[in-house]
Structure formats: C-alpha cells, structure tokens
Amino acid sequence: MTFAPALSREFRPYKPDPAPLLHICSTWNIPPHELIMVGDSLKDEVVCGKRAGAFTCLLDETGRYGPHDSLPEEVKPDFKVSSLTEVLTVLEENFDLASVPESRT
C-alpha cells in the first residue's frame, strides 16, 4: 500500500496548521469533511484535523491523555483509540467505506 502524498515537516506551514491536510484534500480532490485525521498528538494531528474541518481520531496507545470525556473541548477528537487496529473498527462503524476509490488506498 502506498500513501501519497506523504508530507514531512519540510512542507510549510506544518501541523497544527491545517495546510498539510488541506493540501492532501486538494490533491485527492475531496472536501476535508470526508477525511479522518488519525494521530497520536492532540496539539498537532487533532488540532490540524479540527482546523481543516476533518474528522479526528486520537491514537493513545499508552493512555497518557486519560478518558475521552476528560479532554478539553477545543482539542477533543471525534474518536479515541488505543491501537491502530481499532481505527478500522471506528471506520467500519461510523463511515460508509464502500465508495472509496482504489486510487486513494
């Protein structure tokens, strides 16, 4: 599986600015509200996704952020998981995945 575009910190401005995610939306020709930003940082990935208008999912493998309900509203993700395998469950239970074109996987 290839992920493209893959952006590093050399892409400016970088997270938490929404520019990287909006660039991906532009490249894929889809609106941000059809994406989910998954990341392990509230202040970077979750804020970036929220600012872009995407769904957000916090990957909290160690439990360092505490319960989902305890997170401040301005950085509270739409979903919180403790492993990458749980992301698939979140996607299957909350989104229509049947219409994803092959070129975006």
Question: What secondary structure letter does DSSP report for 59?
Answer: E
Q: How confident is the model at residue 105 (pLDDT cuts 50, 70, 90)?
A: very low
The CATH number of 35-96 is which of 3.40.50.1000, 3.40.50.2000, 3.40.190.10, 3.90.1010.10?
3.40.50.1000
Whether 58 contacts 79, CB under 8 Å: yes
Domain ranges of the chain: 35-96
What are the tens digits of pLDDT across the range 19-74? 999 999 999 999 999 999 999 999 999 999 999 999 999 999 999 998 888 888 88
Q: Which two three-digit tokens encode residue 104?
A: 């975006």
What are the tens digits of pLDDT across the range 61-81? 999 998 888 888 889 999 999
How far, CA to CA in Å, does 62 sit from each of 24, 58, 66, 94? 29, 12, 9, 24
Q: What is the pTM of this model?
A: 0.86
Residue ranges of E strands in the chain: 36-39, 55-59, 79-81
